[in-house]
Amino acid sequence: MERYQTAYPPPGATPGHAAPTGPVLSWRKSDIERRLAFPGARHTAVSSLLSFVLAVLMTVAFYLIVAATDGSFFAEMFELSLTKGHIPLLIVFFFNWSIAILFIKWRKLVFQRKALTLRILPDDHFVVSPSTVDDLMARLYRGVDDPRHFVVLNRIQVALSNLKNLGRVTDVDEILRSQAENDELAMDTSYSLLKGFVWAIPVLGFIGTVLGLSQAIGGFGNVLSQEGADMTKIASELKGVTGGLSVAFETTLQGLVAALTVQMLITFLRKSEEEFLDATRDYCHRNIVNRLRMTPFETAAE
């Protein structure tokens, strides 16, 4: 894995400028939503506007492929017709919207992981205390454009701000724990729309099933109501009945396969995000909690 070690300017260097020997993580330049000129959502959350636009483009591209393969089994399954209505279109659109959200979240998670490779402490003997907070905060702002946009650095910034204002090192660990809980809740919230799609996609398939069965049953009733019709005509009418059954089974298959695919991708991505949060907790404990000290002057002051 590529390692990023931030090189900080020596004392007396121009504030806000990193040394040329190391890269600086820039959320404004590297976050995928910001790079595409969309408002960037917080941490690994996803902007609904960008994901919607990508879903529309992906759906248009999908149906251009369907049109290019006209007559194939694939095209017949997803074609738009009076018998199928717009059920296949909605399934494809919600599936693409889900894939767009998952892709953006994955790219944002990859970017957030890079902050875990930053060296925020000057050396192994550096002590975190109320007297060193300003120096540590300055190093955070020299390493990235804004610590608030990074999960791990935002935790550290909040903890250090409280340490500076209150001067009580005993509260820092509790603050980091509270921030960790907030990040976990934010992660759960970021999957809310995806959970809705996983529920809606198979429901759309079942709606298509009901429509297809109603068409088939209605057509079968028309066949039975024809008195004195010969077998040739009855067989011809039954083709419409089987067509309705085909619609019923195809939409169910589309909805179940799409929902299963999205759910599996959610499971894998969620596991990766949980592992990232665990690594973030370990990073904060190793670099902040384990370095907390009170100087004799500060101890006497208390």
Q: What is the pLDDT of residue 3?
A: 40
Tokens at residue 181, please? Answer: 């809980």
Q: Report the alpha-carbon distance of residue 45 to residue 269 in Å, rounded.
A: 13
pLDDT tens-digit readout, 2-41: 343 443 343 344 444 444 344 478 888 888 998 888 888 8
Output Rg (C-alpha) for the chain, integer angstroms.
29
What are the residues whose beta carbons fall under 8 Å from the beta carbon of 219, sequence distance 6 or more? Answer: 237, 238, 240, 241, 243, 244
Q: At what angle do helices 231-287 and 172-190 cross, to 10 degrees?
A: 170
Q: What is the pLDDT of residue 290?
A: 80
Residue stretches of the chain with pLDDT short of 70: 1-23, 80-85, 166-169, 212-248, 294-302
Tokens at residue 137, please? Answer: 């905060």
From residue 218, how far is each of 207, 212, 230, 242, 301 by CA, in Å? 16, 10, 20, 11, 87
What are the residues whose beta carbons fall under 8 Å from the beta carbon of 152, sequence distance 6 or more? Answer: 112, 115, 116, 280, 283, 284
Tokens at residue 48, please? Answer: 């609904």
pLDDT tens-digit readout, 146-173: 888 999 999 988 888 888 776 666 778 8
Task: Give φ, ψ of 255 to 5 degrees.
Answer: -65, -45
Task: Give φ, ψ of 52 to 5 degrees.
Answer: -65, -45
CB atoms within 10 A of CB 223: 16
Alpha helices in the chain (DSSP H): 27-30, 32-35, 48-68, 73-78, 87-114, 133-143, 151-166, 172-190, 192-224, 231-287, 296-301
Q: What is the pLDDT of residue 85?
A: 64
Q: What is the pLDDT of residue 88?
A: 86
Q: What is the pLDDT of residue 118?
A: 84
Q: What is the pLDDT of residue 69?
A: 82
